[in-house]
């Protein structure tokens, strides 16, 4: 099973939290809205893990997910740059 298919299960807890940010998303313009929606998609992919964190405030686990994915990207970019 691939990482993508393993992460296909969307948590209702995450979906509820994403919906609660709808007003913020709607207030964003253009590229900012696109980036925000990409971040929410990242959280959906980690829905099972976010729910397993069992935090009283779901957005805390979502923020940690976003930070983790960004850190993974930074590490990947560092590896790519070190090859040059």
Mean pLDDT score of the chain: 90
Instruction: Answer yes or no: is pLDDT of 2 > 60.
Output: no
Q: CA 21 to CA 24: how far, in whole Å? A: 5
DSSP-derived letter for residue 2 is -
What's the predicted TM-score (pTM) here? Answer: 0.80
Q: How many CB atoms lie within 10 A of CB 46?
A: 21
Residue 28 belongs to domain spanning: 3-82
- Counted domains in the chain: 1
Tell me what the mean pLDDT of segment 10-32 comes to: 94
């Amino acid at each position: 099973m691939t990482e993508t298919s393993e992460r296909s299960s969307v948590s209702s807890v995450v979906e509820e939290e994403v919906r609660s940010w709808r007003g913020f998303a709607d207030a964003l313009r253009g590229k900012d809205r696109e980036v925000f929606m990409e971040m929410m998609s990242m959280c959906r992919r980690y829905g099972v893990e976010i729910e397993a964190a069992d935090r009283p405030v779901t957005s805390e686990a979502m923020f940690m997910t976003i930070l983790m994915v960004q850190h993974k990207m930074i590490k990947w970019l560092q590896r790519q740059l070190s090859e040059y």
